[in-house]
Amino acid sequence: MYRGTAKLTEPCIMGHEFIGEVVALGANFHSSSTGRPHLYSTLHVGDKVVSPFTVSCGECHFCRVGFTCRCVESRLFGTPLTPGGQAQYTRVPRAGGTLYNLQDIPDGSLLADSSLLLLCDILPTGVFAAFQALSHAKTLPFTTRQPYPLSASPPQMGDVSFLPFLEEDKSLTMAVIGLGPVGVCTCIALLDMLVTRKLKFNVIAIDTNEARRAKMASIYSIIGNQQFGEFQVADASNVKELVADLTKGVGCNAVLEVVGNTSALRLAYELVRPFGCINSVGVHSDHAVPYKGVELYDKNVSLDFGRCPVRAMFPMALELLLKRQDVLGSVGGETSLVEKIASFDDAVQIYDDFDKGKCGKVLFDPFK
Protein backbone atom coordinates (compact mmCIF):
# COMPACT_ATOMS: atom_id res chain seq x y z
CA MET A 1 0.00 0.00 0.00
CA TYR A 2 2.80 2.41 0.87
CA ARG A 3 4.49 1.74 -2.46
CA GLY A 4 1.25 2.38 -4.34
CA THR A 5 0.82 -1.08 -5.81
CA ALA A 6 -2.35 -1.78 -3.80
CA LYS A 7 -4.33 0.87 -5.73
CA LEU A 8 -6.10 2.52 -2.82
CA THR A 9 -8.78 5.05 -3.73
CA GLU A 10 -8.71 6.90 -0.41
CA PRO A 11 -6.25 7.50 2.43
CA CYS A 12 -6.05 4.82 5.12
CA ILE A 13 -4.22 4.28 8.39
CA MET A 14 -1.52 1.66 7.96
CA GLY A 15 0.05 -0.56 10.61
CA HIS A 16 -0.81 -4.23 10.99
CA GLU A 17 1.29 -4.79 14.14
CA PHE A 18 0.43 -3.03 17.37
CA ILE A 19 0.15 -3.40 21.12
CA GLY A 20 -1.66 -1.06 23.45
CA GLU A 21 -3.73 -0.35 26.49
CA VAL A 22 -7.51 -0.74 26.53
CA VAL A 23 -9.11 2.72 26.75
CA ALA A 24 -12.71 1.77 26.04
CA LEU A 25 -14.76 -1.41 25.68
CA GLY A 26 -17.70 -2.12 23.40
CA ALA A 27 -21.15 -2.96 24.69
CA ASN A 28 -20.54 -6.72 24.39
CA PHE A 29 -17.93 -6.66 27.15
CA HIS A 30 -19.60 -7.41 30.48
CA SER A 31 -19.46 -9.97 33.24
CA SER A 32 -22.40 -11.99 31.93
CA SER A 33 -20.93 -12.65 28.49
CA THR A 34 -20.99 -16.37 29.08
CA GLY A 35 -20.43 -18.88 26.31
CA ARG A 36 -18.29 -16.38 24.46
CA PRO A 37 -14.46 -16.06 24.40
CA HIS A 38 -13.38 -15.27 27.93
CA LEU A 39 -12.06 -11.77 27.19
CA TYR A 40 -15.67 -10.60 26.70
CA SER A 41 -16.15 -11.05 30.45
CA THR A 42 -12.59 -10.50 31.73
CA LEU A 43 -11.05 -7.63 29.76
CA HIS A 44 -10.95 -4.26 31.53
CA VAL A 45 -10.06 -0.69 30.70
CA GLY A 46 -6.39 -0.31 31.54
CA ASP A 47 -5.42 -3.84 30.54
CA LYS A 48 -2.45 -4.13 28.23
CA VAL A 49 -3.09 -6.17 25.11
CA VAL A 50 -1.31 -7.55 22.06
CA SER A 51 -3.18 -7.73 18.78
CA PRO A 52 -2.60 -10.26 16.01
CA PHE A 53 -2.40 -8.63 12.61
CA THR A 54 -5.80 -10.00 11.64
CA VAL A 55 -9.17 -10.00 13.35
CA SER A 56 -10.50 -13.35 14.57
CA CYS A 57 -13.83 -13.74 16.31
CA GLY A 58 -12.89 -16.78 18.40
CA GLU A 59 -16.35 -18.15 17.76
CA CYS A 60 -16.53 -19.51 14.21
CA HIS A 61 -15.48 -22.93 12.95
CA PHE A 62 -12.02 -21.74 11.88
CA CYS A 63 -11.32 -20.07 15.23
CA ARG A 64 -12.53 -23.05 17.24
CA VAL A 65 -10.15 -25.40 15.42
CA GLY A 66 -7.22 -22.98 15.65
CA PHE A 67 -7.06 -21.69 12.07
CA THR A 68 -7.68 -18.19 13.34
CA CYS A 69 -6.30 -16.25 10.37
CA ARG A 70 -9.08 -17.69 8.25
CA CYS A 71 -11.83 -16.62 10.64
CA VAL A 72 -15.07 -15.93 8.77
CA GLU A 73 -14.89 -12.38 10.20
CA SER A 74 -11.22 -11.99 9.27
CA ARG A 75 -9.92 -8.53 8.47
CA LEU A 76 -6.38 -7.34 7.95
CA PHE A 77 -5.39 -4.35 10.08
CA GLY A 78 -3.98 -1.37 8.25
CA THR A 79 -6.38 -1.49 5.32
CA PRO A 80 -9.25 0.85 4.37
CA LEU A 81 -11.83 -1.47 5.96
CA THR A 82 -9.86 -1.85 9.19
CA PRO A 83 -7.63 1.11 10.09
CA GLY A 84 -4.33 0.00 11.58
CA GLY A 85 -1.95 0.69 14.41
CA GLN A 86 0.09 3.61 13.07
CA ALA A 87 -2.06 5.85 15.24
CA GLN A 88 -2.56 6.84 18.85
CA TYR A 89 -5.90 4.99 19.02
CA THR A 90 -7.13 1.92 17.17
CA ARG A 91 -10.49 0.17 17.07
CA VAL A 92 -10.25 -3.63 17.30
CA PRO A 93 -13.31 -5.43 15.90
CA ARG A 94 -14.27 -8.73 17.56
CA ALA A 95 -11.76 -7.78 20.24
CA GLY A 96 -12.81 -10.51 22.67
CA GLY A 97 -11.66 -13.12 20.17
CA THR A 98 -8.84 -11.17 18.59
CA LEU A 99 -6.77 -9.75 21.44
CA TYR A 100 -4.38 -11.41 23.84
CA ASN A 101 -4.49 -9.99 27.35
CA LEU A 102 -1.06 -9.67 28.96
CA GLN A 103 -2.71 -10.18 32.35
CA ASP A 104 -3.18 -13.79 31.18
CA ILE A 105 0.56 -14.20 30.67
CA PRO A 106 2.92 -15.17 33.48
CA ASP A 107 5.96 -12.86 33.29
CA GLY A 108 4.28 -10.83 30.56
CA SER A 109 4.93 -7.65 32.50
CA LEU A 110 8.69 -8.25 32.26
CA LEU A 111 8.67 -7.75 28.52
CA ALA A 112 9.43 -4.40 26.88
CA ASP A 113 6.83 -2.97 24.51
CA SER A 114 9.33 -3.28 21.67
CA SER A 115 9.65 -6.99 22.41
CA LEU A 116 5.89 -7.58 22.81
CA LEU A 117 5.31 -6.04 19.41
CA LEU A 118 7.08 -9.01 17.84
CA LEU A 119 4.11 -11.14 18.90
CA CYS A 120 1.74 -9.36 16.52
CA ASP A 121 3.04 -11.02 13.37
CA ILE A 122 6.68 -11.76 12.75
CA LEU A 123 7.62 -14.03 15.65
CA PRO A 124 4.47 -16.21 15.45
CA THR A 125 4.90 -16.33 11.67
CA GLY A 126 8.44 -17.63 12.12
CA VAL A 127 7.19 -20.15 14.68
CA PHE A 128 4.42 -21.21 12.28
CA ALA A 129 6.88 -21.75 9.40
CA ALA A 130 9.19 -23.83 11.58
CA PHE A 131 6.31 -25.73 13.19
CA GLN A 132 4.78 -26.59 9.81
CA ALA A 133 8.10 -27.93 8.58
CA LEU A 134 8.70 -30.07 11.67
CA SER A 135 5.13 -31.35 12.04
CA HIS A 136 4.69 -32.41 8.42
CA ALA A 137 4.10 -36.14 7.98
CA LYS A 138 7.02 -36.30 5.54
CA THR A 139 9.37 -34.87 8.18
CA LEU A 140 8.27 -37.31 10.90
CA PRO A 141 10.63 -40.16 9.89
CA PHE A 142 13.50 -37.81 10.77
CA THR A 143 12.08 -36.65 14.08
CA THR A 144 10.70 -40.03 15.19
CA ARG A 145 13.48 -42.10 13.56
CA GLN A 146 10.86 -44.51 12.30
CA PRO A 147 10.46 -45.17 8.58
CA TYR A 148 7.42 -43.89 6.71
CA PRO A 149 4.53 -44.67 7.15
CA LEU A 150 5.27 -46.21 10.56
CA SER A 151 6.47 -42.73 11.57
CA ALA A 152 2.85 -41.57 11.51
CA SER A 153 0.86 -44.73 12.17
CA PRO A 154 0.75 -47.76 14.44
CA PRO A 155 2.69 -50.84 13.30
CA GLN A 156 0.83 -53.06 10.82
CA MET A 157 0.87 -56.81 10.54
CA GLY A 158 3.53 -58.09 8.17
CA ASP A 159 5.72 -55.02 8.60
CA VAL A 160 9.01 -55.91 6.97
CA SER A 161 11.69 -53.50 7.98
CA PHE A 162 14.36 -52.20 5.67
CA LEU A 163 17.86 -51.67 6.90
CA PRO A 164 18.17 -49.60 10.07
CA PHE A 165 18.66 -45.84 9.90
CA LEU A 166 22.24 -44.66 9.49
CA GLU A 167 23.48 -41.53 11.21
CA GLU A 168 22.90 -39.53 8.03
CA ASP A 169 19.21 -40.58 8.07
CA LYS A 170 18.81 -39.11 11.56
CA SER A 171 19.84 -35.60 10.58
CA LEU A 172 17.59 -32.87 9.20
CA THR A 173 18.87 -30.48 6.56
CA MET A 174 16.68 -27.41 6.26
CA ALA A 175 16.94 -24.14 4.37
CA VAL A 176 15.32 -20.78 5.14
CA ILE A 177 14.97 -18.50 2.12
CA GLY A 178 14.80 -14.83 3.05
CA LEU A 179 16.43 -13.11 6.03
CA GLY A 180 14.20 -10.10 6.46
CA PRO A 181 12.72 -9.74 9.96
CA VAL A 182 10.32 -12.68 9.44
CA GLY A 183 13.14 -14.84 8.08
CA VAL A 184 15.27 -14.07 11.14
CA CYS A 185 12.34 -15.02 13.40
CA THR A 186 11.94 -18.22 11.38
CA CYS A 187 15.59 -19.13 11.95
CA ILE A 188 15.33 -18.37 15.69
CA ALA A 189 12.19 -20.52 15.99
CA LEU A 190 13.54 -23.36 13.90
CA LEU A 191 16.86 -23.52 15.77
CA ASP A 192 15.04 -23.49 19.08
CA MET A 193 12.70 -26.34 18.08
CA LEU A 194 15.56 -28.44 16.71
CA VAL A 195 17.73 -27.98 19.81
CA THR A 196 14.81 -28.45 22.23
CA ARG A 197 13.95 -31.74 20.55
CA LYS A 198 17.64 -32.74 20.45
CA LEU A 199 17.53 -33.31 16.71
CA LYS A 200 20.67 -33.35 14.61
CA PHE A 201 20.53 -30.67 11.96
CA ASN A 202 22.08 -28.52 9.29
CA VAL A 203 20.29 -25.21 8.71
CA ILE A 204 21.22 -22.95 5.79
CA ALA A 205 19.78 -19.41 5.86
CA ILE A 206 19.76 -17.69 2.48
CA ASP A 207 19.58 -14.07 1.44
CA THR A 208 21.09 -12.05 -1.40
CA ASN A 209 21.55 -9.05 0.94
CA GLU A 210 24.88 -9.09 2.73
CA ALA A 211 23.72 -6.90 5.62
CA ARG A 212 20.84 -9.27 6.32
CA ARG A 213 23.16 -12.26 6.30
CA ALA A 214 25.50 -10.41 8.68
CA LYS A 215 22.63 -9.58 11.06
CA MET A 216 21.55 -13.23 11.12
CA ALA A 217 25.12 -14.39 11.71
CA SER A 218 25.42 -11.94 14.64
CA ILE A 219 22.20 -13.20 16.15
CA TYR A 220 23.36 -16.79 15.70
CA SER A 221 26.57 -15.98 17.56
CA ILE A 222 24.35 -15.38 20.61
CA ILE A 223 21.73 -18.11 20.27
CA GLY A 224 23.79 -20.84 18.60
CA ASN A 225 24.22 -24.26 20.16
CA GLN A 226 26.66 -26.42 18.27
CA GLN A 227 25.87 -29.48 20.33
CA PHE A 228 23.23 -30.72 17.92
CA GLY A 229 23.85 -29.08 14.61
CA GLU A 230 25.32 -26.56 12.28
CA PHE A 231 23.97 -23.26 11.00
CA GLN A 232 25.27 -21.06 8.25
CA VAL A 233 24.17 -18.13 6.15
CA ALA A 234 24.54 -18.31 2.39
CA ASP A 235 24.08 -16.24 -0.71
CA ALA A 236 21.53 -17.61 -3.20
CA SER A 237 24.20 -17.92 -5.89
CA ASN A 238 26.14 -20.87 -4.47
CA VAL A 239 23.59 -22.47 -2.20
CA LYS A 240 22.67 -25.38 -4.48
CA GLU A 241 26.26 -26.63 -4.41
CA LEU A 242 26.40 -26.09 -0.66
CA VAL A 243 23.26 -28.17 -0.03
CA ALA A 244 24.49 -30.87 -2.39
CA ASP A 245 27.79 -31.04 -0.50
CA LEU A 246 26.08 -31.20 2.89
CA THR A 247 23.63 -33.93 1.86
CA LYS A 248 25.60 -36.08 -0.61
CA GLY A 249 23.37 -34.69 -3.35
CA VAL A 250 20.11 -35.63 -1.65
CA GLY A 251 18.78 -32.12 -0.88
CA CYS A 252 16.91 -30.43 1.96
CA ASN A 253 14.22 -32.14 4.02
CA ALA A 254 12.34 -28.86 4.15
CA VAL A 255 12.71 -25.40 2.68
CA LEU A 256 11.03 -22.55 4.55
CA GLU A 257 10.14 -19.84 2.04
CA VAL A 258 9.83 -16.41 3.67
CA VAL A 259 9.96 -14.12 0.64
CA GLY A 260 6.81 -14.47 -1.42
CA ASN A 261 7.89 -14.40 -5.05
CA THR A 262 8.45 -16.87 -7.87
CA SER A 263 12.24 -16.94 -7.69
CA ALA A 264 12.07 -17.92 -4.01
CA LEU A 265 9.56 -20.68 -4.82
CA ARG A 266 11.76 -21.84 -7.68
CA LEU A 267 14.88 -21.96 -5.50
CA ALA A 268 12.90 -23.85 -2.86
CA TYR A 269 12.06 -26.52 -5.43
CA GLU A 270 15.67 -26.82 -6.51
CA LEU A 271 16.88 -27.24 -2.93
CA VAL A 272 14.25 -29.66 -1.65
CA ARG A 273 14.86 -33.39 -1.73
CA PRO A 274 12.39 -36.02 -2.98
CA PHE A 275 9.65 -36.37 -0.32
CA GLY A 276 10.66 -32.98 1.08
CA CYS A 277 8.41 -30.08 2.07
CA ILE A 278 8.27 -26.48 0.96
CA ASN A 279 6.70 -24.41 3.77
CA SER A 280 5.80 -21.00 2.46
CA VAL A 281 4.80 -18.10 4.68
CA GLY A 282 5.77 -15.55 2.03
CA VAL A 283 2.90 -13.30 0.99
CA HIS A 284 2.33 -14.24 -2.63
CA SER A 285 0.58 -12.14 -5.24
CA ASP A 286 -1.04 -12.70 -8.58
CA HIS A 287 1.85 -14.64 -10.15
CA ALA A 288 1.44 -18.28 -11.17
CA VAL A 289 3.11 -20.86 -8.98
CA PRO A 290 6.28 -21.70 -10.96
CA TYR A 291 6.01 -25.48 -10.98
CA LYS A 292 5.08 -28.06 -13.57
CA GLY A 293 2.87 -30.93 -12.47
CA VAL A 294 5.50 -33.49 -13.40
CA GLU A 295 8.14 -31.72 -11.30
CA LEU A 296 6.02 -32.02 -8.17
CA TYR A 297 5.06 -35.62 -9.00
CA ASP A 298 8.62 -36.68 -9.75
CA LYS A 299 9.95 -35.37 -6.44
CA ASN A 300 6.89 -36.19 -4.29
CA VAL A 301 6.95 -32.59 -3.08
CA SER A 302 4.64 -31.31 -0.36
CA LEU A 303 3.80 -27.63 -0.04
CA ASP A 304 2.21 -25.61 2.74
CA PHE A 305 1.14 -22.10 1.88
CA GLY A 306 -0.34 -19.21 3.74
CA ARG A 307 -0.77 -16.78 6.53
CA CYS A 308 0.12 -17.48 10.15
CA PRO A 309 -2.84 -18.05 12.49
CA VAL A 310 -1.21 -15.67 14.98
CA ARG A 311 -3.88 -15.95 17.65
CA ALA A 312 -3.44 -19.73 17.77
CA MET A 313 0.36 -19.58 17.67
CA PHE A 314 0.57 -17.01 20.51
CA PRO A 315 1.44 -19.48 23.30
CA MET A 316 4.32 -21.03 21.36
CA ALA A 317 5.57 -17.62 20.21
CA LEU A 318 5.35 -16.16 23.71
CA GLU A 319 7.34 -19.00 25.18
CA LEU A 320 10.05 -18.38 22.58
CA LEU A 321 9.95 -14.63 23.19
CA LEU A 322 10.57 -15.10 26.90
CA LYS A 323 13.33 -17.61 26.24
CA ARG A 324 15.13 -15.52 23.63
CA GLN A 325 15.15 -12.11 25.28
CA ASP A 326 18.88 -12.05 24.50
CA VAL A 327 18.11 -11.17 20.88
CA LEU A 328 14.39 -10.34 20.99
CA GLY A 329 14.39 -8.13 24.07
CA SER A 330 16.70 -5.28 23.16
CA VAL A 331 16.73 -2.50 20.60
CA GLY A 332 19.57 -1.30 18.40
CA GLY A 333 22.38 -3.64 19.30
CA GLU A 334 24.33 -5.62 16.75
CA THR A 335 22.54 -8.76 17.90
CA SER A 336 19.08 -7.17 18.35
CA LEU A 337 16.34 -8.04 15.91
CA VAL A 338 14.71 -4.63 16.42
CA GLU A 339 17.00 -1.93 15.06
CA LYS A 340 15.35 1.21 16.38
CA ILE A 341 12.20 2.91 17.58
CA ALA A 342 11.31 5.89 15.42
CA SER A 343 8.82 8.70 15.18
CA PHE A 344 6.27 8.89 12.36
CA ASP A 345 8.24 11.92 11.15
CA ASP A 346 11.00 9.53 10.07
CA ALA A 347 8.65 7.09 8.31
CA VAL A 348 9.37 8.17 4.72
CA GLN A 349 13.10 7.76 5.19
CA ILE A 350 12.73 4.45 7.00
CA TYR A 351 10.39 2.89 4.42
CA ASP A 352 12.87 3.95 1.75
CA ASP A 353 15.80 2.46 3.67
CA PHE A 354 13.92 -0.81 4.23
CA ASP A 355 13.03 -1.01 0.54
CA LYS A 356 16.72 -0.68 -0.33
CA GLY A 357 17.79 -3.29 2.22
CA LYS A 358 19.54 -0.65 4.32
CA CYS A 359 17.66 -1.39 7.53
CA GLY A 360 15.70 -4.22 9.15
CA LYS A 361 12.92 -4.15 11.73
CA VAL A 362 12.07 -0.62 12.90
CA LEU A 363 9.16 0.19 15.24
CA PHE A 364 7.15 3.40 15.37
CA ASP A 365 6.19 5.04 18.63
CA PRO A 366 3.05 7.06 17.88
CA PHE A 367 3.64 9.25 20.92
CA LYS A 368 7.30 10.02 20.12
Under rule CB under 8 A, which residues in 156-195 are in contact with a copy of itself? 156-160, 162-166, 168-169
For residue 17, which of 105, 101, 120, 103 has the smallest C-alpha distance? Answer: 120
For residue 75, state whether it binds a copy of itself (rule: CB under 8 A).
Answer: no
Q: How far is the CB of 122 from a copy of itself (least distance, A)?
A: 16
Buried-state track 122-134, b at ≥16 Cβ within 10 A, e below 16: bbbbbbbbbbbbb
Least Å from the CB of residue 81 to a copy of itself: 16
Cα–Cα distance for residue pair 213/204, rounded to 1 Å = 11
- Evaluate the omega torsion of the peptide bond into residue 155 and state whether it is cis, within 30 degrees of 0: no
Q: How far is the CB of 14 from a copy of itself (least distance, A)?
A: 20
Residue range at the interface with a copy of itself (CB under 8 A); choices 12-20, 54-62, 211-219, 237-245? 54-62
Residue 84 in contact with a copy of itself, rule: CB under 8 A: no
Q: Give yes or no for residue 149 binding a copy of itself (CB under 8 A).
A: yes
Element of type H or E holding 213: helix 210-223
Handedness of CA 249, 254, 257, 258 (dihedral sign): negative
- Considering only 26, 274, 332, 333, the residue that binds a copy of itself (CB under 8 A) is 274
Q: How many CB atoms lie within 10 A of CB 43?
A: 21
Site for a copy of itself in 318-337 (CB under 8 A): 318-319
Identify the CA nearest to 100 among candidates 110, 88, 108. Answer: 108
Q: Using CB under 8 A, which of the segments 100-108, 183-191, 214-222, 230-238 binds a copy of itself?
A: 100-108
Q: Is 106 in the site for a copy of itself (CB under 8 A)?
A: yes
Residue numbers 28-47 binding a copy of itself by CB under 8 A: 35-38
Decide: 235 and 205 in contact? Cβ < 8 Å: no
250 binds a copy of itself (CB under 8 A): yes
Instruction: Give yes or no for residue 309 binding a copy of itself (CB under 8 A).
Output: yes
